Amino acid sequence: MATGNAYFYNLSEQDVVIDVNNFNGDKVAGLGSAPYSPNKSSNGPYQRYDTAEPQQGQFGTTNTLEYNVAGGGGGKVSVTINVDFGRYPANMDLIVYLYNSAVMVMSPSDSVPYLGKNGQTIQVGPGSDQRI
């Protein structure tokens, strides 16, 4: 079975450095001028694994994400992302969109967005109250 990936895209105007699962240093450039094109993480995608304790470069069932948005009043954003592997198994890609004060997670397989703000836990799967 092929392994899916988690891709991180920055939709703010400021560059951010993301810490995924307590591993840091992945720069995601801010949006440039037209034409619109979100910038993805500099270290490439994070491979998905069915684990609650993902290692560096991995995105598991329980994940932490932190980043600072310089300027624009965004400040620090910190969320936990819990992925229901029954609905989104490791062979499916996830896309994580970074905003000034929120994070949205979705899978291209069904395009259902899950939104969380700073300090929240985003439940990605059926029955989630973060589904928009």
User: Is 80 exceeded by the pLDDT of residue 82?
Assistant: yes
Cα dihedral sign for 56, 130, 28, 18?
negative
Across the range 59-77, mean pLDDT stands at 84
**What confidence tens digit (pLDDT) does each residue in 4-13 have?**
999 999 988 8
Of residues 25 and 20, which shows the higher confidence score?
20
Rounded CA-CA distance 59/124 in Å is 13
Across the range 47-63, mean pLDDT stands at 93
Question: Which structure tokens are listed for 75?
Answer: 């400040």
Q: What is the pLDDT of residue 24?
A: 78
- 51-62 in b/e burial notation, b at 16+ Cβ within 10 A? eeebeeebbbbe
Rounded CA-CA distance 98/7 in Å is 11
Question: Which structure tokens are listed for 107?
Answer: 């899978």
Q: What is the pLDDT of residue 6?
A: 95
